[in-house]
A and B are shown apart, each in its own frame.
Chain A
Amino acid sequence: MPANNLKEIKDNYDKQYANITKKIIICAGTGCVSSGSMKVFEAFKTELAKRNLNVCLKISEGCREIYLSKSGCQGFCQQGPLLSIGDTFYTKVKDTDVVELIEKSVLKDEVVERLLYKNPADGKQYKTTAEIPFYKKQTRFLLQDCGRINPEDINEYISNGGYESARKAIAEMSDAEICNFMLDAGLKGRGGAGFPTGKKWDLTRQSKGHKKYVICNADEGDPGAFMDRSIMEGNPHSVVEGMIIAAKAIGADEGYIYVRMEYPLAVTRIKTAVREAREIGILGKGIFGTKYNFDINIMEGAGAFVCGEETALIASVEGARGMPRPKPPFPAVSGLFGKPTVINNVETLANIGKIMAVGAQEFRKMGTKNAPGTKTFALTGHVANTGLVEVPFGTTLREIVNEIAGGTTGEDGSPDQEAFKAVQIGGPSGGCLTKEHLDMPIEYDTLKAAGAMVGSGGLVVMNKTTCMPSIAKFFMGFTQNESCGKCVSCREGTKQMLSMLTDITEGKADDKTMHTLEDLANVVKVSSLCGLGKSAPQPVLSTLRYFRNEYNEHIQNKNCPAGACKALAKYTIDPAKCVGCTACKRACPVGAITGEVKKPHAVDKAKCIKCGACMKACKFNAISVGG
């Protein structure tokens, strides 16, 4: 089928789809696959076949009755494997549930209630995703098709209106028109800094040169972020479409997708998407039946967080160590192989086709004036519902944490609103926010002012068992490990900050350590070469800003209020509970526990090495560890 007739593809698809009476969608995102969704898929295949039912796995000539489809990530990973039969949405489905599901839900339109989603907060059950609070409060503009369409079938993407924007851009719009449209829409880069996409394109468009490149930055390295992975797994064609439009806007004929190797499924899906697009003339020479050429190479990253930085990414595509170089020159002027290059992240690119389809004005209705549109967040940590969510800019943290995520959870995993302590936004470049920020509308500028950043959108909720200096240490450990080692400030600065944070959490620090740490953080923030180094001190600075008392507790009283720092832990035996069984005394490897049989025992704090063996040995809950 020639790509210049998308309508024909759509009509043909719709015609065949009309014969389908039941659609079963099984989530085939990384989360659900690891929970066993492929076993469920296979069970469906076998059981449906046993019943001599007509099943098709891909919409094609002669399809009828049942369409058994795999989808990309539906976002609600924690509840996986996810499955929908018609409108009914099932969670935590096992292969052993399949027979019952077929008998009741597929053949008779009955609902298998025990597999419906049950809200942990109030125990209420919901039948469709539209009703579930997790989905209900979201605005799924970008993720609309993610988890609904089959990511490995280009026809399904096209039949949902896909590639129409790309066709229009290639066949009907000039490069300047596309850039102007993007400026009107006001889309800002979703990869971190929030640079206006239209402006970036326009700068690259105006750079002189016959050869230009579009790069899709899919090196999503932030620990605790998986938005880009989900998009690539769930709707890879939306990324390809965005790249085609970007290519036309700047005059590029070659593109690269730089994707993390840790995402094997995303790699496969994106490779399939590129192959499919090439087969029907959406990529390659003379795309959409025009004279325009554009093709995409896929490169798998080899494991370096710093390659999310655009100049480091370029170095790595060129076959070198992924070390950033000073800017200017910006990639818009001199990028890949010295040619003008646009680098956009996955989420930015996935937005483009959609925005063109709805129009700039419609897009601007979502979000705020400064930040139109929606943002996806990877919602994780101590909350009832974890997963991938999409909300308009301007949404408050409270709405996300309490309504979508179903509230904070306590130590045992059950809902506990009081347990809320902090939200970490923006990964190792971001910062920790507190209760007082819960009603702040989320946007590039507000977050920056509060000492965090949108970053790529990792959002980790932390409860009271989390120690903030330890969290700062965790991120510093990450950055220090991922520092490329080029500039002095970042290479040595992160190492020294990590060492000081370690001292603080181990009770080896004094007031001078705090001063030096803060001074150093402020130097590294300004004097580092690239964004990674410049933002590396953020977790320290933001926790110092909002949780200074907790640092002081560690330093002055050698006490960890969250009880998380092992070196500061104080094991005590409650004489009221201790029965004198001597189990702890026998378990202690250093003989720090004394006491006579059948009399309360005690821990000698000077000898104690805080291994916790006593606590494990005690059968009477008499030993507690406190800060």
Chain B
Amino acid sequence: MTANTENKGFVYVEGKKVAIENEKNLLEVIRKAQIELPTFCYHSELSVYGACRLCLVDIEGMGIQASCSIAPKDGMKVTVHNSQIREMRKTNIELLLAAGHHNCTTCVKTGMCKLQDIAKKLGIKEVRFKQNTEVKERNTSSHALVRDPEKCVLCGDCIRMCSEVQGIGVIDFVNRGSKTEVLPAFGKNLDDVECINCGQCVRICPTGALTSKSEVSHIWQDIWNPGKKVAVQVAPAVRVALGEMYGLKEGENTTGLIVTALRMLGFDYVYDTSYSADLTIFEEVNEFIGRFEKGEKLPLFTSCCPGWIKHAEHCYPELLENVSSCKSPQQMLASAIKESFVQEGGKREDISVVSVMPCTAKKFEAKRPEFSKDGDFDVSNVLTTMELARMIDEKGIKFLELEPSAFDMPFGFKTGAGIIFGAAGGVTEAVVRFVLGKVAPEADYKPITKVLHESKSLKEMEVDLGGGKKVRIAAVNGLKNAQNLIADIKSGKKQYDFVEIMACPNGCVGGAGQPAITGRENMKQRSEGLYSIDDQVQLHKSQDNHYIAELYKNLVGEVGGKKAHEMFHTHYHSRQRIKLKPEEAKGKTNINVCFGSSCVANGAKKLYQETRQLVKEKGVDAKVHMTPSFCYEKCTRGPVVKINDAIIEKADAKKVAAELDKQVKK
């Protein structure tokens, strides 16, 4: 009896008593006891996978077990290191080293690679097994991400991240046994599938199998090009994370050091993307108010996040008209920089804009054709936070020893509202500050809103505009969470006027361009870092950024005006998975049934078969040519059937029958 009560709520790790709190598995308990068991495939944010066989421990009475898959039990006695466990870990690491070609010296992940780290710690000096002779090719086809299957340990982290957290599942295991690979569907390139380039797979990859696509060499070339001016913009989230590369804590503000470092690297102008975050608020609120007053195309979805935008184009074509037409802050600032340069007499192509982003999807966004003019992209290259550190290191700059300095004007000026864009819910808060600031200019900038619900991933608020007008707002982060929210909106379960969507969990501070040294970075501290910068700056509402007022006065004209639309707004197009070109047969009645995803969801398949039946029943088989097709872009009014030139929206068998009669008679 006594022994039982004594053991209640405890396990013994190497003889030391450790309390069981809310840990789901033994591994977490052991880590709490300050013993860092090696793992590839265990992440608290993902499901337990149990494949890397490194977190093996010896449990009294149970033998060798993977601690990630064992629930802690009262009185369990655990040994984490002995001769057998050591031999097994070493063997498993050697097996992985023999299976791939790791080439550490030329790998961007070197120094931050878990495989390298564990091999080093286990003191592996020799691999007893035969090196695999097959070499799988690196895939660099994507604008944002690089896949190197030779470095993949098949831990499946990327796959679970993509499907469990991001809700997309663009990559999965292919083949089995030692032929297993991680690939997009049908072995295609990432750019040809629904990948949104969020890079969360890159963030979680323990080795160099998935990395961001570096454009560092191009940037050096631009810097060294005497005929070219190079402007650089820095996104808000970068300043609270770059320090981690130099041993600082998450959230520590290194803005001044970054500016100095960028000048030392040779950039001509050092600007702040927070400036254009403020600018975004001008345009987006204007757009929102317009829709809110008319009560149309609501809710308005934010458009700052390129991951979300691409996802909407793939999966929610019917919602594209609800998405704000505002370009993202990165693109707005690039437009402003280029336009101003031209206005001051420069040539557009003589200035290039580089941006430093916490994000890999920004690399893809920068390369969208609509953001270029005659082959000259508004943003020529994108650096991630980590890639910036690499440039700083390459030049030998001692980052922590630098004297802080300030951004260049005018595009270096910002309010706190522009800073907090980098944190989840920050855009929303900036909007609220702007709106309430208009209603009551003297009130405290910290907005008085009614928070209806708040969790790590979702915040729902209500803002009272007075006069009985209330704006319902949601801010969601993590794409899977966003999908769930959209499902609720579509089903009518939830109603909002304004929805902020950030594809990455925790918003931009959790982007894949940010340092991922331990894989367990504290995102909350990074967000808090942004809010503490907000506390320190003088102004907090975007409308107080007088440099923006000047920009409108000197260059753009009216908010939401023609020039503003040219410079700061864009458009979206749906990206269909299945390509079905309507085939037409001359001299026959052509029937096309749309098989777009929303038409299918609305019963296009059933309708297709009913229509076939109908054609047979009417005995007009010979006169009719029927094909599936894709897509009439009337996604909100599906299923869509086209008979000759007549388009039937919200079609059903009855409508089709009536139209068919009419058309056949012709």
Contacts and interface: CB of A to CB of B under 8 A. Distances in A.
Direct A–B contact in complex, judged by CB atoms less than 8 Å apart: yes
B173 interface: yes
A492 B53 contact: no
A519 B87 contact: yes
Given A492-B96, A493-B95, A526 B176 contact: no
A494 B63 CA distance: 22
A125 to B, nearest CB: 50
A482 B95 contact: no
Contacts of A323: 173
B98 interface: yes
Interface string B127-158: 01110000000000000000000000110100
B68 interface: yes
B176 A485 contact: yes
A487 B50 contact: yes
B123 interface: no
Given A523-B87, A526-B84, A488 B92 contact: yes
B53 A326 contact: no
B71 interface: yes
B225 interface: no
B53 A483 contact: no
| Most interface-central of B69, B70, B95 (chain A CB within 10 A) | B95
Interface string B61-102: 001101011110000000000001001100110011011000
A327 to B, nearest CB: 8
B143 to A, nearest CB: 30
A483 B176 CA distance: 7
B180 A519 contact: no
Contacts of A520: 91, 128-129
B105 interface: no
A529 B53 contact: yes
Interface in A478-494: 480-489, 491-494
Given A304-B176, A487-B53, A488-B53, A496 B129 contact: yes
B96 A488 contact: yes
Given A326-B48, A492-B99, A485 B69 contact: no
Interface in A443-490: 480-489
A62 interface: no
B51 A529 contact: yes
B455 interface: no
Contacts of A304: 176
B88 A488 contact: no
Contacts of A487: 50-53
A492 B178 contact: yes
B618 interface: no
A480 B180 CA distance: 12
B278 to A, nearest CB: 47
B98 A523 contact: no
B173 A321 contact: yes
A489 B56 CA distance: 12
Contact of A496 (B66, B84, B130, B176): B130
Interface string A531-556: 00000000000000000000000000
B50 A523 contact: no
A472 to B, nearest CB: 18
B586 interface: no
B92 A496 contact: no
Contacts of B176: 304, 321, 483-485
Contacts of B175: 485
| Most interface-central of B64, B68, B128 (chain A CB within 10 A) | B128
B178 A495 contact: yes
Contacts of B53: 487-489, 527-529
B526 to A, nearest CB: 33
B177 A482 contact: yes
Contact of A488 (B63, B84, B87, B153): B153
A484 B69 CA distance: 19
B179 interface: yes
A527 to B, nearest CB: 5
A481 B88 contact: no
A328 interface: yes
Contacts of A519: 87, 91, 128
Contacts of A494: 177-178
B129 A523 contact: no
A587 B96 CA distance: 46
A480 B178 contact: yes
B385 to A, nearest CB: 31
A323 B63 CA distance: 23
Given A492-B95, A523-B91, A527-B88, A326 B68 contact: yes
B603 to A, nearest CB: 23
A527 B95 contact: no
A325 interface: yes
A516 B177 contact: no
Interface string A39-73: 00000000000000000000000000000000000
A499 B180 CA distance: 18
Interface string B160-194: 00000000000001011111100000000000000
A507 to B, nearest CB: 16
Nearest to A481: B177
Interface string A313-326: 00000000101011
Contacts of B99: 492, 495
A558 to B, nearest CB: 19
B46 to A, nearest CB: 13
Nearest to B96: A488
A271 B179 CA distance: 35
B355 to A, nearest CB: 39
A334 to B, nearest CB: 12
A481 B178 CA distance: 8
Given A499-B130, A527-B53, A488 B95 contact: yes
A493 B98 CA distance: 10
Contacts of B69: 326-328
B38 to A, nearest CB: 12
A495 B180 CA distance: 12
Nearest to B178: A495
B179 A485 contact: yes
Nearest to B90: A523
| Most interface-central of A304, A488, A489, A499 (chain B CB within 10 A) | A488
A328 B180 CA distance: 25
Nearest to A324: B50
A520 to B, nearest CB: 6
Nearest to A529: B50
Contacts of B156: 486
A27 B466 CA distance: 88
B177 A483 contact: yes
Nearest to B181: A485
A94 to B, nearest CB: 44
Contacts of B180: 485, 491
A207 to B, nearest CB: 16
Contacts of A489: 53, 88, 91-92, 95
B73 to A, nearest CB: 11
A529 B66 contact: yes
A252 B296 CA distance: 52
Nearest to B52: A488
| Most interface-central of B68, B71, B84, B92 (chain A CB within 10 A) | B92
Nearest to A520: B91
Interface string B27-55: 00000000000000000000011111100
A483 B178 contact: yes
A485 B173 contact: yes
Nearest to B40: A488
Nearest to B128: A516
B178 A485 contact: yes
Q: State the 8 A-B residue pairs at the shortest beta-carbon distance, nearest first.
A: A326-B69, A485-B180, A326-B50, A492-B95, A483-B177, A523-B91, A495-B178, A527-B88
Given A328-B70, A485-B177, A529-B66, 8 more contacts: A326-B48, A480-B177, A487-B53, A488-B96, A520-B91, A520-B128, A527-B53, A527-B92
9 contacts: A321-B173, A326-B68, A481-B177, A483-B178, A487-B51, A488-B95, A492-B178, A516-B128, A523-B91
